[in-house]
Amino acid sequence: MIALESFKKLLNSPKKIVITTHHKPDADALGSSLGMANYLVKKNHEVTVVTPSDYPSFLYWMKGNDEVLNFEEENHKKEIVKRVNQAEIIICLDFSCLSRINELGEMVRRSQAFKVNIDHHQDPEDFADFRYWSTQAAATCELVYDLIVKIGDKKLIDEDIAECLYSGIMTDTGGFKHPNTTKHVHLVTAELIGLGADNAKISRLIYDTNSVNRLKFIGFALSRRLVILNELNTAYFWISKKDLKKYDSQTGDTEGLVNYALSLDGIKIAALFTERKEAVKISFRSTEDIAVNKFAAKYFNGGGHKNAAGGKSDLTLKETLEKFEKLIKENQDRLLNQLELVNEKH
C-alpha cells in the first residue's frame, strides 16, 4: 500500500485510467466517478468510466454521462474488456469489495493495473495498491473532494466537477438530514457551492424529476404495499415483479421509497423488499443507534452503513417477508433497545 505522495506522483504523467463503481449506481457512485473522471481529464489522462449496470435517468445530467460504458450493454462489453486490459490505473469508487461489481470484479482482480479504492463503507477488501477510505465520511464524493484538495488540485475543480460531487453528498446524507451530516460535510458543500455547484438545481434534478408512472407507483405502494408493525416499531414495503411490470418501473423508481416507511411516527426500523428476477433485493433504514447494517450482514447477505444498509434473499418474496418479521420479533430487545447485534458469522 503506497502513501498519498506516491499516488500524487503517479498522476503527474498521462495514464490510461478506468474508473468503476458498484452495481446500480446511485448519485454518490456516479457523482464520484464522473467527478473524478472530469478532474483526471484536466490532468491529461485518458479516462473511461465503466458501470456494472444501468442507473437512474435522473442522473443523466452529469457531465461525462454520455461517455459512460455500461457492462450490461452487449455493444459495450468488448470495448470495456479492451480498456480494462489496457488500463494502467483502475480506480474503484463507492464499494469495498470486488464482488459488488459482478463480472467486472474478477477482471479488475486479474488486471496488472495499479488499483485504487476510494470508499466509505466498512470492511474493505484488500485488493488496492492505494486506498483512500474512511467510514467517517458521509459519501465517497466527500472523499474525492478531500483527495483532490490534498493532492493540491483544488484549482481544477470547476462547476461540472463540483456539481457531480455535491450530488453524492446531498443524497448520501438524505438531503442533509441523516446523522452523518457532519460539520465537515457542510464545509465541503459550502466549498463546492463556492466553486459553482447550483444546489437548488441539483436538488430539483434528483428529487423532483418524476415520470407519471413513478408517481402512480409511489401512490400504489403507499396505499397497497405498506405493512406497519406498530408493536415492533417497524414498517416495510413489499413490491412484486408484477407490480414493477404494471407501472413500467425503471431503474431508480424505487429510490427513496423505504424512507416513507421510516418517516412514520414511532417507526425505528424500515425496509423495502423488491422482487427481482435474480433475487429479492432489500433496503434497510433505521433511526438512532439501531445498526441495521449488522442485521443485514447476519441474516440477509448484506451490509452497509449503520442506519442505511442493503441485502438480498434467494427465498421467495413471501418467505423473505416471513423470515424478516420472525427475525425482527426475535431480535426486538436488542434492536429496539439500541444494542448492536452480536457479531456472529452468518
d(CA 61, CA 302): 30
Per-residue model confidence (pLDDT) at position 250: 93
Copy the grid coordinates of residue 138: 458521509
Q: What is the pLDDT of residue 288?
A: 78
Mean pLDDT for 233-261 is 96
Task: Report CA-CA distances (Å) from 93 to 25, 35, 192.
Answer: 10, 11, 19
Query: All domains of the chain, ordered by start, with CATH?
Result: 2-207 (3.90.1640.10), 212-336 (3.10.310.30)
Question: Of 311, 314, 252, 302, which Cα lies nearest the Cα of 277?
Answer: 314
Is the Cβ–Cβ distance between 168 and 141 less than 8 Å? yes
Tell me the pTM. 0.89
**Tens-place pLDDT, residues 187-201:** 999 999 999 999 999
Cβ atoms of residues 160 and 37 within 8 Å: no
pLDDT per residue over 81-113, tens digit each?
999 999 999 999 999 899 889 889 999 999 999
Residue type (1 letter), 339: L
Q: What is the pLDDT of residue 304?
A: 87
pLDDT of residue 331: 86
Percentage of the chain modeled with pLDDT above 90? 87
**Digit-coded pLDDT (tens) for 315-327:** 999 999 999 999 9
What are the residues facing 21 on neighbouring strands? 93
Q: How confident is the model over 227-249, as a mean pLDDT?
A: 97
Least confident window among 23-37, 175-189, 264-278, 325-339: 325-339
The residues pairing with 271 across neighbouring beta strands, listed in sequence order, are 236, 284
State the pairing for strand pair 308-313/303-304: antiparallel
pLDDT tens digit sequence for 30-58: 999 999 999 999 999 999 999 999 999 99
For 135-167, what is each residue's pLDDT tens digit? 999 999 999 999 999 999 999 999 999 999 999
* pLDDT in the model for residue 336: 60
Give the separation between CA 40 and CA 245, rounded to whole angstroms.
Answer: 40
The pLDDT value recorded for residue 1 is 72
Cα–Cα distance, 162 to 254 (Å, whole number)? 27
Q: Go through 21-39 and write b for each residue having 16 or more CB atoms within 10 A of its CB, e for each that does not.
A: bbbbbbbbbbbbbbbbbbb
Where residue 337 falls among pLDDT bands split at 50, 70, 90?
Answer: low
pLDDT at 224 > cutoff 90: yes
Lowest mean pLDDT among 167-171, 300-304, 324-328: 300-304
* Averaged pLDDT for residues 214-238: 97
Distance, in Å, from the CA atom of 27 to the CA atom of 56, rounded to the nearest integer, reads: 9
